[in-house]
Amino acid sequence: MGMFTESVQVSCSPSGVPLRISWDGCDYRLVAEPQRWFERRKWWDENLRIPRGIGAGLVDYEIWRLEITPATSRGPMRSVDVSFDPQSTRWRLIRVNQEIPIGA
């Protein structure tokens, strides 16, 4: 589908694992265990200098792949990637990967 960035609301467990997402005026629930990884950001394009001693969160994005479906109705399952910024505590939708056929 494509890469972009859009603010989303993500509800998490006490350990920080995503449980639900609100996006584009709709609530979604997860239908599979979320997957997490880190991606290196292009800090040289975003900042002229990285402050010393801030930690890995400044140069890496925490990415979660979520398989979601509408919370209140039967609808298509989708695979989306969201990113969490610990400094701003904001979640961003960065990729809509695919619609997943029912029963896949």
Domain residue limits, the chain: 2-100
Query: pLDDT at position 40, please?
Result: 76
Mean pLDDT on 30-43:
86
CA-to-CA separations, 81 to 48, 49, 54, 65, 94, in angstroms, rounded: 27, 27, 25, 4, 6
> Which is higher by pLDDT, 57 or 16?
16
What is the pLDDT at residue 1?
46
Would you state the pLDDT for residue 45? 63
Cβ-in-10-Å burial (0-12, 13-18, 19+) of 101 comes to exposed
- Taking the complete model, does pTM exceed 0.85, yes or no? no
Q: Residues 73-94: pLDDT tens digits?
A: 787 889 999 998 877 889 999 9
Alpha helices in 1-104 (DSSP H): 43-46
Say if residues 31 and 19 touch (Cβ distance below 8 Å). Answer: no
